[in-house]
Amino acid sequence: MCFLCLCISEEIQTHINTMVSYKKLNPEDVQFSSAVLSEESRPAQEEVAVPEPERASLLPRRPSCSITTGVVIIGCLLLILGGGWLLHTIYWLHSPSSQQPHQPPPPAPGRSSDSRLPGEVNDTAAASRNEACSLIPEAWRFDCYPERGTIVTQELCEARNCCFIPASTSAPHPSRKNGIPWCFYPPDFPSYSLVSLNDTSMGFKGTLVKDVKTYYPGDILTVEVEVQHETDTRLRVRITDPSSPRFEVPISVPTSTKKAENPEYTVELSKQPFGLIVTRRSTGAVILNTTVAPLFYADQFLQFSTSLPTQFIYGLGEHRSTFLHDVHWTTLTMWARDVPPMEQTNLYGVHPFYLAMEDGGNAQGFFLLNSNAMDVVLQPGPALTWRTIGGILDFYVFLGPDPASVVEQYVEVIGHPVMPIYWALGYHLCRWGYNTSNSTWEVVKNMRNYGIPQDVQWNDIDYMDQFKDFTFDGTKFDTLPDLVRDLHAHNQTYVIILDPGISSTQPEGSYWPFDEGLKRGVFIKDSEGKTLIGKVWPGLTAYPDFSDEVTHKWWYENLHRFHEKVPFDGLWIDMNEPSNFLDGSTNGCPSDSLENPPYTPGVLGGLLRSKTVCASAQQKLSTHYNMHSLYGLMEAKASASALKQILGKRPFVISRSSFPSQGLYSGHWLGDNRSLWKDLYTSIAGILTFNLLGIPLVGADICGFSEEPQEELCVRWTQLGAFYPFTRNHNSIGMQDQDPTAFSPLARTAMKDALLLRYSLFPFLYTLFHHAHAHGHTVARPLMFEFPKDVKTYGIDKQFLWGKSLLVTPVLDPGVNYVDGYFPEGLWYDYFTGNSVRSKGEELRLDAPLDKINVHLREGSVVPTQAPNLTLWISSGQPLHLVSALSDDGSADGDLFWDDGETVDTYETNQYTYIIFSVTQNKMTSQVLHSQQEMSLITVGSASFYGVQEKPNKVLVNSQEVPFTYRDNQVLSVTDLGLNLIQNFTISWK
């Protein structure tokens, strides 16, 4: 073959190597390199030498030929392509029909099959295209027609240049919400090409160009991709429009100034079509592979897809589902919405973050920093598609490698959760429908009389005067200030509810919040610049714009004025999606692309304005179209700031709507659940998911919010709720009372015991929250976090851990006196008795009478506890009792963080005590790593050791012999120690 033909052949092969079919690409099958650009595609002034990654590229590099022979090459290329087409056609005509799922029509009579009319060329091309479409496995078909409510016909589909094949296992109707798409992208669907690449101080930056517009308007044909190697375990990628600024989420994220020196990932690029592949350097596992489907970047439609390492995917809040997501054609829509929790519906919060497990126990994470309405599509490839209608594509990849490290790395980006004030971890009681302050007070007194712990009393909107914020009903709640003073006298606290909707119909001069807000211009405006009016509980309302600092000051002043009347201690901010009983406003919404975008994700109600304000409404930073899902976050930020100023203590805020970084300002409750056993079960997945999302202070309404509570359900729910990080009993107006005093003596006692158990574990729980605040750890923790190599733990959401040490196995079914729980391999101890259970990694049946919840200690743990009392203020002054669960080798460890419980930033300002406990070779030692003299008032009064294999001859405390007890179940106990907490001590036995 002549040199020109050799050169042409090489050019063709190079082109093929950089053309990627939209299908799953494994490392051994595909290779793309950040140095894949040919010399011809890069302008001379942009030439940059991109170093080869340490690992060899996934495809061999081909030598390039000089472009001086370009004209001849093009001619030869056309000749070869024509010949190839002819050979393919001959082969296709003579191949067996059984191998051709899409056969061409038979030749017309009187013509041989070799003589073709011009139109038959198109028929052959269509047949070839159909064949290529049919080769795409169903699990890897990416939806080309995701619009809901449309019957997708072949004509509609092919108008988008997509494949149309009714799926064999799909429903007969092609427009069903979930299922295998009938209309999907072909291998040659137009996408972006990488045309230039430059090194930067943090990685590299490239230009992507698309020649053909797609079917959504506002296609941006030239975009810029920037890859930043921020840390060894964190990669950031930004895809932006270089010609025009677009909305970006206004939360603070870390700014790296130095490129990672030893990243645990490699990054490779596909030139045409553009794609990004991120792999784990140590194992070669594919973390991200966007070559599986085309990239879209239009004004109101941005989409990209990636393969997933396995089907084990978590996060993606806020949705009601199992903890482990179902990847079999599941679409999760994100757009903050006021709706009682239900499956397959966008709920109160938006958290575009997932954690994925890999084969072998490694974990990875992905965070899309985008606040616009979006769909996240999971399919069984496994693969995932992000589809959002605004902003930019700005995402992070986290390498872990273990699940806990992924969450730590994510929280490092969005911000560590705030350290809660101590009483936030006590028992909270609330209901909508106390009706008067006196009836509220009676419940508090009854709780005290029965000796049931309670730290916080709440009121719902019925305390207000006509549901107006910053007011209270002077008739029905006339004794409210006295109630609050009484709570404070008993070391208890009080929390009020606030909705963002401010009544707009009061006579001028009679309602300061609206009058002053109007004067200062703090309210959201409609598209014409007028105050937007919606409708919530007080009637017609205006909505504060919390993206404006002027609003923050106004909010603080309102809270301060009301606090002088009712000295509340915390805030419950509700209805802050924001909720609206109307769609949009009293004047409707304009008919424009913000209200009716080219693509609307699967939001409940079908419209962005459904039960909220107009998408076209104007806020300080941007339109509500961009800001909607940030509303709860911004209100929480304003509320936390105001409380700090008013109280001079750590703020306590619980918010319904949430967004990444919410944990900096508030906790969260899981919304308006129901008094049903199913809701009891799904609450566990909710608290585990929000711990992944950096909001560890989370819980569900104990006993359920709506519908009549059942006694058995309420007992079981109180037992489980005692282990929610945030524990509140709350129910709805018109329902029967469901506080613990409202039930039979047996039920009341069971609830009391569960709450006393929680209060006894306060030192342990408080320390867990310190680690969440300081290090980004989870508090309520899925079993897989501690046992990532045990695949049996991956789907467990009927049990959970506190930290690494305490396994909770609640009863979630009616009418049973047992519960089945999975125990990972190892030694476990019944928390109450010290009896041991040795598991091979198996499910065990446990006794669970109505008055018991099963709690087990993991071997190797030391857990600090205290004698419980009616409030945490009292119990937190009691002597400590240390419980050690020994491993077979006699070892265990634990720690304790302690401070005054309410001062802001004690950890940051070194106003705390931190102690580690260690047991080894029959000796416990304490090591005070940091201390405050004030903590000398706290003592260690007793200690128990589970798993002491032989009865000791004697026990020594700081070398002095002391009395002890030893039970047949190998539990050693010592009492009356009186050890100063901030002085090192030893407890040993022989």
Query: Are 590 and 615 within 8 A, CB to CB?
Result: no
Rounded Cα distance between 708 and 828, Å, is 38
- Among candidate residues 412, 577, 672, 739, the one labeled active-site is 577
Helix then strand then coil, % of the chain, to nearest 5: 25, 25, 50
- Can you tell me whether residue 865 is helix, strand or coil? strand
DSSP 185-238: --TT----EEEEEEE-SSEEEEEEE-SS--SSSSB--EEEEEEEEEETTEEEEE
- Can you tell me whether residue 255 is helix, strand or coil? coil
DSSP assignment, residue 444? H
Question: In Å, how far from its chain's centre is CA 271?
Answer: 32
Between strands 163-164 and 183-184, the pairing is: antiparallel
Query: Are 213 and 221 within 8 A, CB to CB?
Result: yes
* Six-digit token string for 974: 């010592």
Rounded Cα distance between 349 and 639, Å, is 18
Q: Rounded to whole angstroms, what are the CA distances from 500 to 69, 373, 467, 657?
A: 70, 21, 11, 12
Angle among Cα 150, 296, 271 to the nearest 5 degrees reads: 140
| Partners of 534 in the β-ladder | 541
Rounded Cα distance between 291 and 744, Å, is 62
| Partners of 458 in the β-ladder | 495
Query: Are 802 and 830 within 8 A, CB to CB?
Result: no
Query: Are 257 and 246 within 8 A, CB to CB?
Result: no
Cβ neighbours around 87 below 10 Å, total: 10
Active site residue 577: yes
Q: Rounded to whole angstroms, what are the CA distances from 103 to 93, 128, 409?
A: 9, 10, 53
- Among candidate residues 455, 574, 672, 679, the one labeled active-site is 574
Rounded Cα distance between 241 and 226, Å, is 11
DSSP assignment, residue 145? -
Helices (H), 415-479: 437-449
Active site residue 574: yes
* Six-digit token string for 543: 């909505």
Q: Which residues of 222-251 are buried (b: 16+ CB within 10 A; e: fewer)?
A: ebebbbbbbbebbbbbbbbeeeeeebbbeb
Rounded Cα distance between 385 and 352, Å, is 12
* Six-digit token string for 58: 């996934």
Helices (H), 798-946: 872-875
757's enclosing H/E stretch is: helix 745-760
Cβ neighbours around 394 below 10 Å, total: 18
Question: In Å, how far from its chain's centre is CA 411?
Answer: 11
Q: Which residue has the tokens 């309520």?
A: 780
Rounded Cα distance between 601 and 542, Å, is 27
* Six-digit token string for 159: 């108008």
By C-alpha distance, which of 748, 679, 694, 703 is closest to 725?
A: 694
Query: Are 18 and 36 within 8 A, CB to CB?
Result: yes
Instruction: List active site positions.
Output: 574, 577
